[in-house]
Amino acid sequence: MLFVLIAYLLIPREISGEIYNITRLPFTGMPPFPRSDHSAVFSSKYNSLFVFGGRDMTHYKIFNDMWVFNLTTLQWSFLFTLTDIQPSIRHSAAIYISKAKPDYIYVFGGSGQNGPLIDLWEYDIILRTWSFIKSWNSFFPIMLFGYTYYERDSVEYLALYGGIDIGKYSNKLFIFKIDDLEWEEIQANGDFKTVGAELPNIKYFSNYLYVLGGYGMTPPEFYRYSFEQNKWENVTNESYKILPQEFNTVIDGNYLYSIFGYNDDSYINSIKRVDLTTGDFQWEKIKESYDHYRTGFSLTEVNSKYYIFGGTYNFIANDFKILELSANKPSLTEITPNYEYPEPRSNHIFKKINTKFYVFGGTSISGYLKDLWAFDSLTEKWAQMSHKGDIPSARQLSASDSFGDSLLVWGGEESSGLLNDVFIYNSQTNIWAEIISKSYVIPTARKGACLVNDMPYIYIYGGETNNGFSSELWKFDMGTQEYSLISHSPYPIAYANCQIFNDSFNVLFGCKETYDNIFGYWSFSFTAKRWMFTDSKSQLSGGAQGISLMIGDMLIYYGGRYMQYSTYKYINCDFEDTTINVKTDLHNYNSAFIYHKSQLYFFGGSKVSIYLTMIPSYREPTLGNIELKDAFKQVKNSILCSPGTFLNGNQCEECPKGTYSENFSNEECIKCKPGTYNSNIGATKSRQCYPCPKGYFNELYGASTCIQCSSNDYCPAGSKSLEIKRQRNKFITYQPSNYDDKFDSSILFKFQIISGLMVFLILIIWAISAYRKKIAEMDDFVDNHNYELNTPIMRKKTLFGGVFTLLFYGSAFILIGSAGIEYFWNNIYELKTLQPLVVLEKEVDHFYTDLTIVVELFRYSDSCSSDNEVCSESIYITYDNIKYSGNSKNVITCEKTSDDTCIIVFSCSDCWIDPGANFRIEMKEDMSYCSGIFVNITSKSSIPESDSSIITGLFSDDEKIFIGPDATKFFFILTPSLFRSSLRRFPSKITGYHISMESAIESGSQYYGKDISISTELMVIIYLSQATSAMYTVRDINQSLFVIFTGLLGSVSGAMEAAVFFMRFIEENYISIKNKFKMKEKLKKYLKKRLKLGMNINESQENTNILSRSIVIETSSNKTADQNLKQHSYREREALSNEFINHKIKKGAKVSPSEAK
């Protein structure tokens, strides 16, 4: 009591004023958990219905909690106890309120975790405390009995019948006199014995106890016990067979009603009744069917109305209905439907995703929790999520925040101690994933820290570690998955709320290590890198573990705890120079909150006693709602709509499908871009515009779905249009070829042909012109025209000599021209060799080159660049060991093409590669993902006429996109190259690189489209390894001018000899043939002269033949015609003729007379 008094004195004094009633959801407040076989009783003094205990057979739970439903306010409330003394968990217990003691509720017996109970407990409604009254050993405990409270002769009694005894169904009847606290077992007169049953119905009416129904009563029978006769009577008849085996009963007027129930394997949804005054006990159906199938429910009379709560069907229920048994038309009215909701808890997570509010973890009467629930703000219903994946361990006091469709959980406290792990939940796939840090230095484990998820960065501040409170502000990069310590606040703070606003990280309220509250907030400027404190304008709320947030220029704070003693119930608004204090009807601390539209939602938290002291072990089963426009009417027009909503008139409404809004005070929502869609209402981030999956496309703004492509079209993820042909991974390389002087060999051939034709044409023209006789004068071979042996050599010029002289000079011209052409146009050779790099490094300082790296991100979803090809501020491009001299420069540009390809170009001139060179791109825009990555790297190769270039890349896997922490890696090897030449037409020395692939591409992180809410960044790393060998290229002339000249001398001399040879051959044969014709002419002249001398024709012919023969013989002896004519005399010719005639005679030939003559 001393502690309570001290706490009471320390509680801040309240100011008078109107009380703002917080809206509970549902409107009746959270009902008791679903249950059956519970106990219920009505208090006329408090006009309330009390529910105690029961069981949930689905989850194997038994309860010992007390709930109350106020029939005036229509509100459910959980009644906690202020002490540790309370009944053990139980179901099927007897419950009653004595008229003599209307402020107390009594509970007797029931079935506990280990069997039947026989204890009596008293609950003080005012003080909310339990007291143990008595336990009996006079009879063996029985469980699952039937009971009824009744008055007889103004004395209060409790009657128990049946149940389960030792190995059998009991048929015993016990009467409990409430005033005397004594039990009596009834020993009835007569020989009739009733049949025992489990959970039978027992009701009192006009000095009779009526017993009927129950499991195990075979056959079913209907009994009544007469107090006057102390005797049992069986009143069963044929009409009783319409009743089920298990059911509930009430007495209304003269009638005993059977309400619903269960029979064998089916539920009964009808109502029957019997008139207890007629004596014939004929049962009748008065209502054939209701939309209500149930057993194990409670049925409590309140002013001739019967309240039905809970029970079991195919599920465990907690709906609440009113049954009115009017004459022949009973009616069943629902007050609240079945309402499933999370177990009451504190120090949990409560975050908004679209129009749903997610609850995870915390602590309850069950201990640490790790269940996940979602409250739909549109339907106002809860649903437990069957989450999967790397589910975080059960924990409390974790730091958490939502971003788009993801929920991030960091650290906290579990049963084994403090934590510093990281988990992220994707509400689209219902999957958890653990994020493993790649940092060597990470925050220590802690609880009570606060967190802001500002993708791609996560900010974690403060909290309580094993060594005390922390003042650290950490940043976690979701792309690189690395921590960095940003700053320390002026002093450690824990159990605060955090928010990023106006480029500052704000730590709202919380407490110091001494548990003194901080009334106000600290702001850390990301730009100025310093902390600044702002006081709150009121201290009526805003303690640690309360509600606080900034909405534009407003600071809203509500509840929280004062030191370790008490809590606040005011909600405050600091706006401009004033503060507004509004008193509520609920103390709030250890809860969690959400701001949605213009309303503040909070769930759970710990309870406050009637002395206004904290009771952390009891959790508040409340989902509350405060409409800020109603609470702060003075400034209602300045209250801004939350992200995910927009202002429509005077009301905040959720963004429709296909749109989103990221900030406070939105007058309209932003439409998703083509190639994306959003099927959810109330989206808060652009990341909730998901890329169309593979096989679908969207060409419109603000789409909620995508259109399926035809089988002939190719639509990768994120398509905003159709593509006819499927894109494929590609590899193209362009490398310097062997030197080609581009000499056309046909030019030489054409020159030779044209020159020859020109010489031939000149000869023809001279031959047919007046200058024909002058050809012989051009003869330079005057010493080569002597063909007769033993004759003096004569120098003379001939026609043949002139012709072949011209041919010789023409050939010499062709030879000299061809040699000139070869020398000047086809006289370069190139030699390439691979040499150790260390050898060539002695000849050059660096292997300078002009290097260009082009990275294409296909179907890139964000902006990529601003104006003038300037890269977006959220694109980070770095490189290592790509060096360049002071006079050279590098250029980086970004460009977004019409087909949504982001092209990033890096170029440098006079740069070189050192070992370990790499080029890194980090795309940190909100929608940094793509469907394909391609790299084109080009370098000057040192070969003057060509570069070395490679194009390579890959597309994402089916239905996936490139996004996430792991970079896509490209591996190139650059071979240094040195070129040398002594020719003027080429530089004397050039350096460069030859590029080739070192290894296959390593694909980076790929996720399905719906995973972009839990992943961020797009990274590309290009590794440029330097080869250990270098290429050395030499380019020089094949033949020198001297070699060409000496060669020409030989060629021209040879041509001259050839000309002389052919001239003599042709000329000599020409002379020989010419002499033949001359001899023939002389013989013809000779014969003509003989004819003139009188020789006849025959003789002339024969002589002519003889002479012809002699000429042939002479010719065969290689003598010329002139020599034959000179050497043969007439006699010799005559002798030859005679020889000819003799030859014919020897052969037997006939000799003509003329021949003989």
Of the listed ranges 192-206, 410-424, 678-692, 1063-1077, the least confidently predicted one is 1063-1077
Q: Tell me what the mean pLDDT of segment 125-145 comes to.
A: 87
Q: How confident is the model at residue 1113 (pLDDT cuts 50, 70, 90)?
A: very low
Q: Is the pLDDT of residue 392 over 70?
A: yes
Q: How confident is the model at residue 898 (pLDDT cuts 50, 70, 90)?
A: confident
Coil/strand/helix, residue 921? strand
- Letter string b/e over residues 890-905, b meaning 16 or more CB atoms within 10 A of that residue's CB: eebebebeeebbbbbb
Q: How confident is the model at residue 4 (pLDDT cuts 50, 70, 90)?
A: very low
- Residue 482 and residue 438 in contact, taking contact as beta carbons nearer than 8 Å: yes
| Distance from C-alpha of 474 to C-alpha of 420, rounded to nearest angstrom | 12
Residue 16: what pLDDT? 45
Residue 526: what pLDDT? 95
Q: Tell me what the mean pLDDT of segment 409-416 comes to.
A: 97
Of the listed ranges 153-162, 524-533, 574-583, 816-825, the least confidently predicted one is 816-825
Q: Tell me what the mean pLDDT of segment 1080-1095 comes to.
A: 73
- Residue 185 and residue 174 in contact, taking contact as beta carbons nearer than 8 Å: yes
Q: Tell me what the mean pLDDT of segment 118-134 comes to.
A: 94
- Please choose, from the candidates 412, 442, 408, 440, the residue with its C-alpha nearest in 3D space to the C-alpha of residue 427: 408
Residue 563 or residue 489, greater confidence: 489
Residue pLDDT, tens place only, 69-87: 999 999 999 998 878 899 9
Of all residues in the chain, the percent with pLDDT exceeding 90 is 55
Q: Is the pLDDT of residue 174 over 80?
A: yes
Q: Is the pLDDT of residue 13 over 50?
A: no
Q: How confident is the model at residue 165 (pLDDT cuts 50, 70, 90)?
A: confident
Question: What is the CA 862 to chain-centroid distance, rounded?
Answer: 14
| Distance from C-alpha of 491 to C-alpha of 488, rounded to nearest angstrom | 8
- Please choose, from the candidates 421, 414, 412, the residue with its C-alpha nearest in 3D space to the C-alpha of residue 368: 414
Q: How confident is the model at residue 1006 (pLDDT cuts 50, 70, 90)?
A: very high
Residue 530: what pLDDT? 96
Q: How confident is the model at residue 729 (pLDDT cuts 50, 70, 90)?
A: low
Q: Is the pLDDT of residue 1110 over 50?
A: no
Residue 769: what pLDDT? 66
Residue 733's CB is within 10 A of a number of other CB atoms, namely 12
Q: Is the pLDDT of residue 3 over 50?
A: no
Q: Is the pLDDT of residue 704 over 70?
A: yes
Q: Tell me what the mean pLDDT of segment 684-702 comes to.
A: 92
Q: Is the pLDDT of residue 531 over 90?
A: yes
Residue 868: what pLDDT? 78
DSSP codes of every residue in 90-119: EES-EEE--TT-TTEEEEEEEEETTEEEEE
Q: Is the pLDDT of residue 1104 over 60?
A: no
- Please choose, from the candidates 1044, 1052, 1035, the residue with its C-alpha nearest in 3D space to the C-alpha of residue 820: 1044
Q: Is the pLDDT of residue 1135 over 60?
A: no
Q: Is the pLDDT of residue 919 over 90?
A: yes
Residue 611: what pLDDT? 67
Q: What is the mean pLDDT of the chain?
A: 86
Residue 167 tokens read as: 């190995």
- Residue 31 and residue 21 in contact, taking contact as beta carbons nearer than 8 Å: no
Residue 139: what pLDDT? 67
Residue 15: what pLDDT? 47
Residue 1065 or residue 160, greater confidence: 160
Pairing of strands 356-360, 431-435: unpaired
Q: Exposed, middle or buried by CB within 10 Å (0-12, 13-18, 19+), for 70?
A: middle
Q: Tell me what the mean pLDDT of segment 1020-1041 comes to.
A: 86
- Residue 438 and residue 480 in contact, taking contact as beta carbons nearer than 8 Å: yes
Q: Tell me what the mean pLDDT of segment 965-984 comes to.
A: 90
Which residues pair with residue 586 across a beta bridge? none
Residue 406: what pLDDT? 95
Q: Is the pLDDT of residue 1055 over 60?
A: yes
Q: Is the pLDDT of residue 314 over 90?
A: no
Residue 333's CB is within 10 A of a number of other CB atoms, namely 9
Residue 5: what pLDDT? 40
Residue 1045: what pLDDT? 77
Residue 1141: what pLDDT? 60
Residue 1105: what pLDDT? 55
Residue 431: what pLDDT? 95
Residue 33 or residue 760, greater confidence: 33
Q: Is the pLDDT of residue 260 over 70?
A: yes
Q: Is the pLDDT of residue 322 over 90?
A: yes
Of all residues in the chain, the percent with pLDDT exceeding 70 is 89
Residue 1153: what pLDDT? 55
- Please choose, from the candidates 857, 1017, 1110, 120, the residue with its C-alpha nearest in 3D space to the C-alpha of residue 479: 1017
Residue 373 or residue 785, greater confidence: 373
- Residue 1133 and residue 1125 in contact, taking contact as beta carbons nearer than 8 Å: no
| Distance from C-alpha of 398 to C-alpha of 350, rounded to nearest angstrom | 11
Q: Tell me what the mean pLDDT of segment 1024-1041 comes to.
A: 83
In terms of C-beta distances under 8 Å and separation of at least 24 residues, what long-range contacts does 43-51 make, across chains too? 43/97, 43/102, 43/105, 43/125, 44/102, 45/102, 45/103, 46/70, 46/125, 47/71, 47/72, 49/300, 49/302, 49/307, 49/309, 50/79, 50/95, 50/105, 51/298, 51/309, 51/310
Coil/strand/helix, residue 8? helix
Residue 2: what pLDDT? 39
3-state helix, strand, coil in the chain (%, to 5): 15, 45, 40
Of the listed ranges 366-375, 437-446, 682-691, 794-803, the least confidently predicted one is 794-803
Residue 610: what pLDDT? 67
Residue for token pair 């080609």: 740
Residue 723's CB is within 10 A of a number of other CB atoms, namely 14
